Amino acid sequence: MIIFIQFLDYNLWDLIVDGPSLPTTKIERGEIISNPKTSYNDEDRKRVQMNAKAKHIIIFAINSNDFNRVSSCISAKKIWDRLKVTYEGTNQVKEAKLSMLVHEYEMFIMYKNEDIKTMFTRFRNIANALQALDKV
């Protein structure tokens, strides 16, 4: 998904990672609220449009269960962060996955009655999962 979004528009990926910086105003109690659309200038409209474009791309790429998880999110960044936690987990979950995968890697053997193609596929899956967690 990252490569696809970067291919469409690299600025979209930056917006997803950094947040859209939508136009806001700080009110008396220190609370931050969104500016009314009538007060948007051209730059504000461009940022809102980019956020909508990024949300559209992500939503069209996910299934209905994921859509239900993220449908209340206002920004593409919030959608991405929620999906990231859903699929990658928190740091504790990542560490547990990493530990399990390292153990599988270290204890890797070819099973009886397993052909080389199946064994290699299993090994590649472990290596790819480790690489996804930045463990080379």
Residues 98 and 112 in one domain: yes
Do residues 7 and 70 share a domain?
Answer: yes
Domain tally, the chain: 2
Same domain, 42 and 79: yes
What pLDDT shows up at residue 40?
86
Residue 27 shares a structural domain with residue 72: yes
In this predicted structure, the answer to whether residue 134 has a pLDDT above a threshold of 90 is no
Range of the domain at 122: 91-132
- Cα–Cα distance for residue pair 57/4, rounded to 1 Å: 9
- Encoding tokens for residue 55? 């949300």
Judge if 10 and 62 occupy the same domain: yes
pLDDT tens-digit profile of 8-51?
988 899 999 998 777 777 787 778 888 888 888 898 888 889 99
Neighbouring residues of 82: CB distance < 8 A, sequence distance ≥ 6:
69, 70, 73
Q: What is the pLDDT of residue 2?
A: 86
pLDDT 10s digits, 82-130: 998 888 777 888 888 899 999 999 999 999 999 999 999 999 999 999 9
Do residues 60 and 127 share a domain? no
